[in-house]
Amino acid sequence: MRNMHKLSPLTLTIALAGLGLAGCSGRPADHRQHQASSAVVAAHQDHAGKQGGLVQMFGDLHTEVVIDHAGRHRLYVSDATRQPLPPSAISGVTFTVKRPGQPPEQLTLQAGSDHWFATGRPVHEPKTMVRLAFVHHAQPQFIDVPALVLAQH
């Protein structure tokens, strides 16, 4: 078993404070770099739907699913910092709308200028499930989301 050393709270506080000081030299370039990396982290953690939909993550890829009650459905994709990506960033995009007691409605989305879209039947039943499926970097991805959750966004 390894020989473990205990640090007093004062020693630990001093050590952590020293790490914080060592990480920021106070030079303007270091400060700008720290601000830039903080902005990237903040953008990565931003999961608000910019189009009124539900945002999910697949690695560093963000997807925003918008299920319209009238049947006009959309998908937007963005990178790790929530910068919009062109539809060509993914392929093979489908929504499978699973309504209780009915056969699934399979929708193949079309690429628009800045998002994917499809027109299907209106979604009103709260127990409806929607499966988003697509291919990103040759890896198939999917997620099932209750339409009720999507409608709340």
Tokens of 22: 């060592």
Predicted pLDDT of residue 101: 95
Query: Would you report the helix, strand and coil content of the chain in percent, each value rounded to 5?
Result: 25, 35, 40
Over 50: is that where the pLDDT of 128 sits?
yes
Instruction: For the chain, give every domain's residue range.
Output: 9-44, 54-152
Q: In the CATH hierarchy, which fold is given to the domain comprising 54-152?
A: Immunoglobulin-like (2.60.40)
Q: Which of 18-27, 54-63, 128-137, 141-150 has the lowest mean pLDDT?
A: 18-27
pLDDT tens-digit series, residues 74-121: 999 999 998 999 999 999 999 999 999 999 999 999 999 999 999 999
Predicted pLDDT of residue 28: 47
Tokens of 44: 């990565």
Closest listed residue to residue 58, CA positions, set 145, 137, 149: 137
